[in-house]
A and B are shown apart, each in its own frame.
Chain A
Amino acid sequence: MNPAGTPYRAFQSEGRLAGSRAGRILTLLALVYLAVVAAGFVAPGDPITQHRELVFAPPTRLHLIGPSGELHWRPFVYPLVLRPDTFDTYEEDRSRMYPVRLFVRGAPVRVAGLFTWDRRLVGTDSPTPLFLLGSDQYGRDLFARLLYGGQISLFAGLLGAALSLGVGVLLGGIAGFYGGWLDEIIMRAAELFLALPWLYLLFAVRMSLPLQIAPAQAFLLIVMVVGVVGWARPARLIRGAVLSARVRDYVLAARGAGASDPYLLRRHVLPQVVGIAATQAALLVPQYVLAEVTLSFFGLGVGEPVPSWGNMLSGLNRYHVLASYWWMFLPGIALIPVFLLYYALADALHQRATAFTP
């Protein structure tokens, strides 16, 4: 990473390269979050409506070849009918075809909580709903639930990381910059929180809150719990960075020249910390998303009927669901690309931060 004699320009271009990679990953992540926020427009159906005649329907198949072998340029679907004498096996009614259209008109929904719109990204005129990713035990649209659930799961991670990082930067900054007994107290407390395995601590903190709570409150509580539980690690990291920045020659020189504490913090210490904090954020979000998923999976987080990726997975607690309907795994599988993006982002941010400080 630091071959002697490499000109500064080389580090600079390496950092810039990592920076543009971070930018590309951020764009992809932003697209995921955008799709989740605009769930009302992207999802063909809504996440709460139950279709009891279509429980555990498999993902709707989009066809291009018609019944007599002709090619259609516009994908189409067949309506589903229950096979007689079964409760979860469906057949396509090949006598009727319904083309899939873009920007169809549907029931008006709130999009992103900002405006009401009656257009959907995709839709059909078929009597059976368009289940792009199948339906669950109540015949609810899994694709819609995945998007609306992302609003809970992905944002709980994001807000939780923001909160715990905020607390961590504040406390770690104070501890590192002022030192003395403040440092001692804060770091001892951090040690206490780090002495507990993360999930055990999470459950212990969760115990201090009521068991049955409304979904909206549950969301806020999870964000708070995660913030309370997770402050110690970033605080420790930030303290180390501030401590090393505080005794740099140029900082001491500035202090000797009469610079005030706030000036030093803003001008000299903060820039050293930003890179570390950003990398840490990219690592914390997936951990906190998983915290929400775990809590909701075990029935201690966001409850029905509001979807979250955790409580959607809890349907798999029953063996027949686990064994028969693969699409019920999708909320868990959806976590993989999201986590991959975040880890790649952390990697790029780390490279960017270290490239400038050889």
Chain B
Amino acid sequence: MRYLGRRLGHAVLLLAGVSILSFLFAELAPGDVFDEMRLDPRISEATLRAVRERYGLDQSLPQKYLRWLQSVGRGELGFSVVHNGPVGPLLWRRARNTLLLTVPATALAWLIAIPLGIWAAARKGQWPDRAGAAATTTLLSVPDILLALVCLLIAVRTGYFPTGGMVSLGFDELGAWDKVKDVVSHFFLPVTALLLVTLPVLVRHVRASLIEVLQAPFIQAARALGIPEHRLLFRDALRAAANPLISLLGLSIAALLSASLVIETVMSWPGLGPLLLEAVVARDLHLVVGAVTCSTLFLIGGSLLADALLFAADPRIRPGRA
């Protein structure tokens, strides 16, 4: 527990660091949300100054940061000038949508990658392995932007899938079952695109770590004892290879979030990605800081999850019990 507690403290420090860092970047930015108002001759210089004062934009950086921290304490996470409301509720809804996309994609990707990787490792150097390697390399070279656009093309050309958004018009009037069907039909293509982005990396790693394990003497011994090959692969070898794979789970979430940003924006899924993009263009400071910090939260959450799993799976890292 102390191990996990230490990791948690570390995570909080990282989050604080990231929020300060994003504040610094925002401070460097020339201009703010009200810049376009200056072009309007009906708005006087004095009004502008008053508006800036009201939103606290005239304060120094530490003051701004302290104000933001206070509002984080209240659960508001700052104030979005463009949306004219606290950032918190805005962010949580979008964050939920991003999770709705990334969690099934991660789960599916692992479910597919583990058997595929094991299969390739068991046939190392034979044609299925080579074909798999060629396929993963090719898929790795397809940019996520192109994948998203092709998925959109499929939606537009076939008409089987909606071309964007998360729910259809009139969603509220649908029955419970139709609601589920509606959301699933909307997220099918984005999840597929995300899956194709993550899959090649995972398959390669599963294959590599399994090949390493399969060379170990204990596998040879097990084989000599007549343990069936599929049990050997899926139980003994996979368990021994679990360690690096669990660490990879934490890392794969980082790549997934970046890909998700692109795919969400291209396929107009109302997640964190489009929100961040709009906020950057509008120079809505607190919203950018909020979205960036939120993405870090996901990332840290992912690696904490990996740590906890590792803690449960590997007795060697449990201090005091070794």
B184 CB → nearest A CB, Å: 22
Whether A196 contacts B299 by the Cβ 8 Å rule is yes
Chain A proximity mask over B277-314: 1 for CB below 8 Å, otherwise 0: 10011010000100110011011100000000000000
- Shortest Cβ gap from A282 to chain B (Å): 13
Determine if B156 and A207 form an interchain contact, defined as CB atoms under 8 angstroms apart. Answer: no
Tell me the smallest distance from the CB of A283 to a CB of chain B, in Å: 11
Could you say which of A63-71, A107-115, A332-340 contacts chain B? Answer: A332-340
Chain A residues near B295 (CB-CB < 8 A):
196-197, 200
Q: Which of B31, B140, B143, B281 is the one whose CB lies under 8 Å from A332?
A: B143
Contact call A207/B26, Cβ cutoff below 8 A? yes
B136-186 interface with A by 8 A CB criterion: 137-138, 140-146, 149-150, 152-153, 156-157, 163
Is A195 among interface residues, defined by CB-CB distance under 8 A? yes
Name the residue among A206, A332, A335 with the largest chain B CB count within 10 angstroms. A332
Q: Is B100 an interface residue (CB 8 A)?
A: no
CA distance A63 to B320 in the complex (A): 78
Give the Cβ gap from A223 to chain B, nearest Cβ, in Å: 17
In chain A, residues 251-304, which have Cβ atoms closer than 8 Å to a Cβ of chain B?
286, 290, 293-294, 297-300
Distance A222 CA – B100 CA, assembled complex (angstroms):
32
Given the complex, which residues of B lie within 8 Å of A191, measured CB to CB? 14
Flag whether B3 is at the interface (Cβ < 8 A). no
Interface stretch (choices B69-77, B217-225, B236-244, B255-263): B255-263
CB-CB contacts below 8 Å: A306-358 with B: 313, 316, 319, 322-323, 329, 332-333, 335-337, 339-340, 343-344
* Size of the chain A interface, CB-CB below 8 angstroms: 42
Q: Is the CB–CB distance between B281 and A294 below 8 Å?
A: no
Asked whether A290 and B299 contact (CB < 8 A) given A203-B276, A203-B280, A322-B153, the answer is no
Within 8 A of B (CB), among A171-221: 191-193, 195-201, 203-211
The complex places the Cα of A252 from the Cα of B261 at a distance, in Å, of 48
Is B22 in the interface zone, CB < 8 Å from A? yes
Q: Are A195 and B14 in contact (CB under 8 A)?
A: yes
Asked if B145 contacts A200 (CB within 8 A), the reply is no
Q: Determine whether B29 belongs to the interface, using a CB cutoff of 8 Å to chain A.
A: yes
Give Cα A99–Cα B152 distance, bound, in whole angstroms.
39
| Minimum distance in angstroms from A35 CB to a CB of chain B | 19
Q: Which residues of B contact A211 (CB under 8 A)?
A: 281, 283
The smallest beta-carbon distance between A287 and chain B, in angstroms, is 10
CB-contact partner of A339 in B143, B150, B255, under 8 A:
B143
Other-chain residue from A201, A335, A344 in contact with B292 (beta carbon distance below 8 A): A201
Select one of A207, A209, A298, A343 contacting B288, CB under 8 A: A207
List of A residues within 8 angstroms of B254 by Cβ? 197-198
The answer to whether B28 touches A208, judged by C-beta atoms less than 8 angstroms apart, is yes
A300 to B138, CA, bound (A): 28
Residue of chain A at shortest CB distance from B139: A336
Which of A193, A195, A329, A343 meets B140, CB within 8 Å? A343
Residues of B within 8 A of A322 (CB): 149, 152-153, 156
Q: Are A207 and B29 in contact (CB under 8 A)?
A: yes
Find out whether the CB atom of B156 lies under 8 angstroms from the CB atom of A195. no
B21 on interface, CB distance cutoff 8 Å: yes
Interface residues on chain B, size class: 35 or more
Cβ–Cβ contact B281 & A208, under 8 A: no
Neighbouring B residues of A286 by C-beta, 8 Å:
141
The answer to whether A203 touches B277, judged by C-beta atoms less than 8 angstroms apart, is yes
Contacts of A206 in B (CB 8 A): 280
Residue B143 contacts which of A210, A316, A319, A335 (CB distance < 8 angstroms)? A335
Whole-angstrom distance between the Cβ of B232 and the nearest chain A Cβ? 23
A199 with B258: CB separation less than 8 A = yes
Give chain A residues whose Cβ lies under 8 Å from the Cβ of B89.
none
Contact of B262 with A294 in the complex, beta carbons under 8 Å: yes
Min CB gap B233→A, angstroms: 22
- Chain B 26-78 interface residues, beta-carbon cutoff 8 Å to A: 26-31
CA distance A195 to B10 in the complex (A): 11
A358 to B137 Cα, complex, angstroms: 26
Q: A207-B29, A322-B149 are known contacts. Are A200 and B280 too (CB-CB below 8 A)? A: no
* Minimum CB–CB distance for B74 against chain A, Å: 24
- Establish whether residues A290 and B145, one from each chain, have CB atoms under 8 Å apart when the complex forms: yes
Which chain A residue lies CB-closest to B35?
A: A211
Q: Give, as a whole number of angstroms, the nearest-CB distance from B70 to chain A.
A: 22
Report B-chain residues with C-beta under 8 Å of the C-beta of A337: 141
* Measured CA separation A340–B140 after assembly (Å): 8
Considering the chains assembled together, what is the distance between the CA atoms of A209 and B254 in angstroms? 24
* Max chain A C-beta neighbours (<10 A), residue from B17, B27, B31: B17
The complex places the Cα of A290 from the Cα of B280 at a distance, in Å, of 19
Residues of the B chain whose Cβ atoms lie less than 8 Å from the Cβ of A332: 143, 145-146, 149
Pair B25/A196 contact, Cβ less than 8 Å: no
Is B213 on the interface with A (CB-CB < 8 A)? no
CA distance A290 to B262 in the complex (A): 11
Residues of chain A within 8 A of B25, CB atoms compared: 204-205, 207-208
With a cutoff of 8 Å between Cβ atoms, the chain A residues found around residue B198 in the complex are none
A208 to B291, CA, bound (A): 15
Residues of B whose CB lies within 8 Å of any CB of A are 14, 17-18, 21-22, 25-31, 137-138, 140-146, 149-150, 152-153, 156-157, 163, 254-255, 257-258, 261-262, 265, 276-277, 280-281, 283, 288, 291-292, 295-296, 298-300
Given A197-B298, A203-B276, 14 new contacts (CB under 8 A): A192-B14, A195-B17, A196-B292, A197-B255, A201-B292, A204-B21, A204-B288, A207-B288, A209-B28, A211-B281, A290-B143, A290-B145, A336-B141, A337-B141
Q: Provide a sorted-by-A list of 11 A–B residue pairs whose CB atoms are within 8 angstroms.
A: A195-B17, A197-B298, A200-B291, A203-B292, A207-B29, A208-B26, A294-B145, A300-B281, A322-B149, A332-B143, A336-B142
A residues neighboring B (CB under 8 Å):
191-193, 195-201, 203-211, 286, 290, 293-294, 297-300, 313, 316, 319, 322-323, 329, 332-333, 335-337, 339-340, 343-344
- The 9 closest A-B CB pairs, nearest first, are A332-B146, A208-B28, A339-B141, A197-B257, A199-B258, A208-B25, A200-B295, A340-B141, A323-B156
